[in-house]
Amino acid sequence: MIELQRVPTHPGEVLKEDFLEPLEITQTKLADALHTSFRAINELVNQKRGITVEMAIKLSKYFNTSPQIWLNLQNNYDLYKVLQKKKDLIESIHSFKDVA
């Protein structure tokens, strides 16, 4: 398994730092444009919520990116968090090739 040196960037931070702030788009404006709630955008920006497939599609349409960019950011973040949280458990699992 690959060990990452740092926590992957949460997609909400990317949204805020790379899109909203430079383009001077408010969370309210984005929420309206995506037909979603301010709360959904705010929780995403504040890293209290993750990117869903639906949100990835909406963001990709609005910002002219691919949904995969958003989903990859979320998957990398989630994978890192689970690997850290369950490290001992995961290390205790051996490949079926090693057991046989």
Answer yes or no: is 45 within a domain.
yes
Residue 4 lies in a domain: no
- The phi, psi pair for 81, rounded to 5°, reads -60, -45
pLDDT attached to residue 97: 80
> Can you give the pTM of this predicted structure?
0.84
- Torsion angle in degrees (nearest 10) through CA of 9, 15, 21, 24: 170
d(CA 28, CA 38): 6
Is residue 1 assigned to a domain? Answer: no
Q: Is 70 contained in some domain?
A: yes
Is residue 47 situated within a structural domain? Answer: yes
For residue 100, name the pLDDT band (cuts at 50, 70, 90). Answer: low
Structural domain boundaries enclosing 47: 11-99
Look up residue 33 and give its amino acid.
A
Number of domains composing the chain: 1
pLDDT tens for residues 29-83?
999 999 999 999 999 999 999 999 999 999 999 999 999 999 999 999 999 999 8
Please determine, for residue 87, whether its predicted confidence score (pLDDT) is greater than 70.
Answer: yes
Indicate whether 95 belongs to any domain: yes
- CATH number of the domain residue 39 falls in: 1.10.260.40
